[in-house]
Structure 1
């Protein structure tokens, strides 16, 4: 995901801005470099947080899958033959997770929209 930079005279990816500068379609003196730098630092922070979120989500799901697989492979203790299938629990958790993630994305959009 390439960052989009927003300044008074331009909005788009950095390589496009550089191309416009090289073609003399944008004057380099009109570019607030500090603002672009700040936007890039914000982008890096978002990517770092996103990567941690993605890694965390993966670890949780992988752990749950390993637990389910181990329960499916191991013999069931006496008296638990009629116990709930652990895959059902995972399916329900995935549905809840999907709803929570969609709600979080909607809230994030509202926060950015209404600041």
Structure 2
């Protein structure tokens, strides 16, 4: 897995450098972080903003990257990115999520499948 971050004023923040060092936290930190974190699974749809089960009059299929042929993956990732940043209710989904976090924790990590996909 490779990661890239999203920030309010930055559309790209990826450092394509091989890992050379692993910094481990104080043993108490992972538990504190887990206690303060919220993990959830949400879908990205182009036709509606339903994050889980679609309840629209005309249900919309969620975008899917897993299993998509390599020549179509960039298109799907760009469509997902567009939907996550879409400003349809005053703020895009990622920006709304970012603003829910306390100031020192305002970071969002987007995971993709490879360094190439992180660069797209």
The bucket for the TM-score relative to the shorter chain is: under 0.3
Whose helix fraction is larger, Structure 1's or Structure 2's?
A: 1
The structure showing larger relative contact order (alpha-carbon pairs under 8 Å, at least 6 residues apart) is 2
